[in-house]
Amino acid sequence: MPLKSKDATTNFLSLPFILSKKTRLIMVTGKGGVGKTTLAMAITKALQEEGKKVLYNSFDQPLNQTLASKIDLPHFNLEMDSSARSYIAKKLGSETIAKWILKTPFFSSLFNMLPGLGHMILLGHIINKLEEDSELTIVLDSPSSGHAITMMESPRNFKEMFRTGLIVDDINRMERFIFEDERMNIVVTSLPTAMATQEAHELKEQLASRGVPHFSLVLNDLLSLSPSLKEASPGDLPEFIKTKCLHEERLLSELSDEEWKHIPHFAHERSPAIIKECQHLLTKGAPL
């Protein structure tokens, strides 16, 4: 293929790059619009295809119900208010007191002032679920990058704040699960531009400095690797596509092949078709 000088087929994203034997929780993160949801759903479907017990969770964002049912996605929902209530109820042994506490202006203010608190309770529920069922793997579709940092920084902040008490005990348990037992892998997704990959690197470093042990860097939507261009020679292509491909190739030559794995641009209008192609890539290591 004249468009690419390197052998393009060797560096596609596949499941082994995303999870090790220890991995039980996969969090897909990156800036908005990089295809996090598509990738998180494709990972879930691919793991299911391999016979794993796996569930997708959209975390603090509403689930795209239509899409989830179209692709028959195994998933579960968590709702912030009820999660907080059941968390407090469990700790105090009373649903009534929990309800009452959450109704007070003190707690509603606490929740508004400390957005990370709600996230931490959600994460706590997710880890509970994983500890209750040792066969289960969960794929988390996380909020955009800055807020993924908020989330990973929250345990430390709250520990610093609370120092003792039931919440701190729980934070220690969560930290053990994520950081020491190496159960979590974060997949940082980026679009193929110099600025976006630079941001992804920054994000990775920030998360690493907060103790996250495992990462996978994924370059999504590469036009130069698109199956649609497979049969084409440069002469068939308009200038703007040639320019885009040229920029991508320049970028690829600057990025380490060990560090970054690739997903091609899939020319479909609808998400289910894209997810299907991505799922195939993950299980087979090459596009359809």
Partner 1 sequence: MIPSKKIELFCGTGGVGKTTLATSRAYSLAKSGKKVLLITIDPARRLKQILGIKDDNAGEVSTLTGEDFQFENGQLDALLMNPKTTLKRMAKLSQEGSSLDNPIVNILTKPYGGMNEIMAIIEVQHHLKTGGYDTIILDTPPGKHFIDFLQSSQKINQFFDKSFVDIFKYFGKRFSKSKEEQKSGFLSLIVKSGIKKLLSYLEKVTGESFVDEFIDAISGLYLNRSSFTEALVFQEDLKKADYSNWFLVTSVDQRKAHEATDLQQNAENFMHKDSFLVVNRSLTPYLENWQPDASHKGLVHLHSSMKARENTIKDMGAKRLNQYKEVLYFPEVLDIEPMTHVKNLASSWK
- Taking CB under 8 A as the criterion, which residues in 56-95 touch partner 1? 61, 64, 88, 91-92
- Applying CB under 8 A, among 32, 72, 135, 256 the residue interacting with partner 1 is 32
**Residues in region 113-132 near partner 1 by CB under 8 A:** 113-116
User: Which listed range, 9-17, 42-50, 77-85, 154-162, lies at the site for partner 1 (CB under 8 A)?
Assistant: 154-162
Burial 151-185 (b: 16+ CB within 10 A, else e): bbbbbeebeeeeeeeebbebbeebeebbbeeebbb
Beta carbon of residue 96, minimum distance to partner 1 (angstroms, whole number): 11
Residue 16, C-beta contacts closer than 8 angstroms, at least 6 positions apart: none
From residue 155, alpha-carbon distances to 143, 168, 182, 227, 273 in Å are 17, 9, 16, 43, 38
Q: Which of 96, 105, 132, 256 binds partner 1 (CB under 8 A)?
A: 105
Q: Which is nearer to partner 1, 197 or 216 (CB)?
A: 197
Which one, 54 or 167, has the nearer CB to partner 1?
Answer: 167
Place of tokens 């989830």: 68
Q: Does 288 bind partner 1 (CB under 8 A)?
A: no
Shortest Cβ distance from residue 270 to partner 1 (Å)? 9
Bridge partners for 214 per DSSP: 185
Q: Which is nearer to partner 1, 213 or 227 (CB)?
A: 227
Of the residues 15, 78, 80, 149, which one makes contact with partner 1 according to CB under 8 A? 149
Question: Residue 70 Cβ, how far from partner 1 at the closest point, in Å?
Answer: 14
Contact 203, 232 (CB under 8 A): no
Binder among 10, 20, 22, 97 for partner 1 (CB under 8 A): 97
The strands making up 184-190's β-sheet, listed across from edge to edge, are: 53-57, 136-141, 25-30, 184-190, 214-222, 260-264
Asked if 253 is part of the footprint of partner 1 (rule: CB under 8 A), the reply reads: no
Secondary element (H or E) of residue 137: strand 136-141
Cβ atoms 134, 128 nearer than 8 A: no
Nearest-10 Cα torsion for 267, 265, 7, 4: 80
What minimum distance in Å lies between the beta carbon of 213 and partner 1?
20
108 binds partner 1 (CB under 8 A): yes
Identify the residue among 134, 240, 256, 258 touching partner 1 (CB under 8 A): 240
Query: CB-wise, 19 or 71, nearer to partner 1?
Result: 71
